[in-house]
Amino acid sequence: MHKYTTNSLEIKNAIQYCDFMKTYEEINNKIESGSAVVLTADEVIDYVDKKGLDEAANEIDVVTTATFGPMCSSGCFLNFGHSKPKMRMTEVWLDDVMAYAGIAAVDVYLGATQLRYNDPANMNYPGDFLFGGGHVIEKLVAGKEVQLFALSYGTDEYPLKELRTYITIDDLNQAIMTNPRNCYQNYNVAINCSEKPIYTYLGKLKPNMKNLTYCSAGQLSPLLNDPYYKTIGVGSSVWLAGAHGHVYSEGTQHASACERTENGVPSEGAGTLALTGNMKEMDPEFVRGVSFKGYGASLALGVGIPIPILNKEILKYCTVKNSEIYASVIDYSSTYPAREGDIVCKLSYEQLRSEEVEINGKKVKSTSLSSYSKALKIAELLKDEIKKGDFALSKPYKMLPVNQGMQPLNIKKQGGAK
Amino acid sequence: MSNTISKKVLLSFSGIASDKPIVSELIRKYNLEINIYRAKIGNNEEGHMAIGVTGDEKLVNESLKYLKSSNVEVKETETGLIWDEEKCASCGNCLTHCPTKALHITDSHSRRVEFDGSKCIECLSCIRNCPFGACKSFF
Ligand code: SF4
Ligand code: SF4
């Protein structure tokens, strides 16, 4: 028997539950034969309560988790094919939204938060940001026509210097959604302690803490059901807006070394996932351009992630309830912009969902930016696909870092970076 | 026996009809209480008005007939605020900004958002606070 020098909860849990019960292969075989037992992360709570952990862990093969909300670090690689004569596109706009063309001749990356050419932004504060990269991505997925305008300096083998045409997603050779940061494990709750309204990526916040906004699917959210990334890792299959995609890397700003409650659940952002999937397979209901007054444009996405119930420990994590998940309330008028660490308080998702919470004796209206209703729908859709044998799980080939911090950016004088 | 009713109606008219003092007619001729939620009347352009009328049922119906005969388009079931159910993602962001709970959660489990036009006072704050562009104004 090994001797553990650390007494972290994670290791204690590992000893308690080390009896492995199922493998990915066994679960996939059951899925293929159409006999897998699948529950959503919402249903599993009562189910385990009723049956007990042991019996439930034997029965259940997969728990489906999901989330739907704005995910700014999203975008897509597009390949247009070659015009006649050929062109090495150096500047590209889709419906007047600039795409990054600093890659091969007719490849671009279109980012979700890129604004349309000539958008007045916050010149008329608060700006409306009615159309950006996320809206172009929504149009493409919905099969709508988009204008492509491209410029080039011209070369011997790519002589064309200017092109304007109209395309749909069917005209593209590839449209691969590639999102460096999705599915934040948990997220800040934003409040405004100042005396004037502020406009943020979490919506309009009224002065003097009149309202707050949270943004998580809580007990249904993927990484809150797998707090130590025991099944969700690099290579895991995910349902990305209807496409069968996968996790291609840890997400940017993945910061797993964070404050956690006793059940292992982080009370701050913590883990993130980098996701990719074929945009041609996506369902437009779950790919939606969004505009935040005074802040900018973005993309709201629906993601579903299946969790294989390999053992009791993994199932135990999936039974986490809104009342056991806490998020930090942060003042977006002062501490957030100044990058200071203070928090106003911590609230559970059960409290946040009750529409009105009390902070320092003051009644505060609470609303969400993440759609629980859409997340539930996704968890059900994914459940049905798995039950029908249409969606297989994949074993990650690399686990996500469990103890990784995040560095700030320090502003230095030249030569100061060594 | 008189039966008092309240109704929300959306009136649209061309520049010619907007010359007529239709609101005062409704008050004087039909003895109605009028609540103007919102109006937009341009010079020689089309105009729109979202109003609430309260009064005797018979007189309310007669007044609507009068409006129609004066070249006013009357929509009895519509509000000037258009909520697009397809576009609404039920995120809930509008809920704190809607003063009357016209936009509300249907049940606490599914948390689906719905719109009840009879409660809408046309403040338009949902338009400014809906990231998904689900709320629009008819005028
Ligand atoms: S216009 Fe005002 S009252 Fe009507 S639904 Fe929108 S926020 Fe609510
Ligand atoms: S803010 Fe818009 S999308 Fe969100 S619930 Fe309200 S109407 Fe629906």
| Segment A347-360, tens digit of pLDDT | 999 999 998 999 99
> What average pLDDT does the structure give for chain B?
90
B-chain residues near A357 (CB < 8 A): none
User: What average pLDDT does the segment A320-331 reach?
Assistant: 97
pLDDT digits (tens, 9 = 90+) for A89-130: 999 999 999 999 999 999 999 999 999 999 999 999 999 999
* Residues contacting A280, CB < 8 A, separation 6+: A169, A170, A172, A175, A243
Check pLDDT > 90 for residue B25: no
Q: Tell me if B36 CB under 6 Å of ligand 2.
A: no
Contact with chain B for residue A363, Cβ under 8 A: no
Distance (Å, rounded) from C-alpha A208 to C-alpha A364?
Answer: 10
Q: Which residue has its alpha carbon closest to ligand 2 atom 6? A: B94
| For B107, nearest residue in chain A (alpha carbons) | A373
Closest C-alpha among A148, A105, A177, A131 to residue A292: A131
**DSSP β-bridge partners for residue A370:** none
Tokens 């597009």 correspond to what residue? Answer: A78
CB B13: neighbour CB atoms within 10 A? 21
ipTM: 0.90
Question: A238 — contact with chain B (CB < 8 Å)?
Answer: no
Q: Is the peptide bond before A85 cis (omega within 30 degrees of 0)?
A: yes
> Is B116 in a helix, a strand, or coil?
coil
Measured in Å, residue B134 CA sits from the centre of ligand 2 at: 6
What is the homologous superfamily of the domain B4-76 according to CATH?
ACT domain (3.30.70.260)
Pinpoint the residues of chain B covered by CATH 3.30.70.20.
81-137
pLDDT at B76: 86
Count of other CB atoms within 10 angstroms of residue A356: 11
CB A399 within 8 A of CB A233: yes
Smallest CA–CA separation between B59 and chain A, in Å?
Answer: 42
Domain with CATH 3.30.70.260 in chain B: 4-76
Question: What CATH architecture does domain B81-137 belong to?
Answer: 2-Layer Sandwich (3.30)
- Chain A residues with CB under 8 Å of B112 CB are 373
Q: Are A57 and A311 in contact (CB under 8 A)?
A: yes
The number of the ligand 1 atom at minimal distance from the alpha carbon of B81 is: 1
**pLDDT single digits (tens) A156-187:** 999 999 999 999 999 999 999 999 999 999 99
| Apex B115 CA angle, B111 and B116, nearest 5 | 125
The stretch A141-148 carries a mean pLDDT of 98
Is the confidence at residue A56, as pLDDT, over 80?
Answer: yes
> Cβ contact (<8 Å) for B132 and A376?
no
CA atoms within 13 A on the CB side of A181: 15
Determine whether the interchain pair B90/A372 forms a contact, defined as Cβ–Cβ distance below 8 Å: yes
